[in-house]
């Protein structure tokens, strides 16, 4: 039996396996090949901390991709 926790991903309810790191979650959500910025509960997380940032129940996660303009 796998424990899961409820989080919010870009404003939508989502369920993930308990104990995932942010890096593992991004891989699961297929954001690995894209340049992204991530905020957890309103605080941006430096890319260097993705592996060491563990997600918790009720976290609000926002993943944004840069948009080119002209």
Domain borders along the chain are: 4-64
Sign of the torsion angle spanned by Cα atoms 44, 50, 56, 57: positive
pLDDT of residue 2: 65
pLDDT of residue 47: 93
| Pairing mode, strands 4-9 and 37-40 | unpaired
Residues 53-66 have a mean pLDDT of 94
Q: Which fold has domain 4-64?
A: Ubiquitin-like (UB roll) (3.10.20)
Reported as a single tens digit per residue, the pLDDT across 11-58 is 999 999 999 999 999 999 998 777 899 999 999 999 999 999 999 999
* pTM confidence score: 0.85
């Amino acid at each position: 039996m796998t424990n899961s926790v409820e989080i919010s991903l870009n404003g939508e309810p989502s369920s993930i396996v308990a104990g995932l790191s942010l890096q593992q979650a991004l891989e699961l959500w297929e954001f690995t090949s894209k340049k992204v910025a991530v905020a957890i509960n309103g605080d941006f997380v430096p890319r260097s901390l993705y592996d060491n940032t563990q997600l918790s129940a009720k976290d609000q996660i926002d993943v944004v991709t840069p948009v080119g303009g002209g």
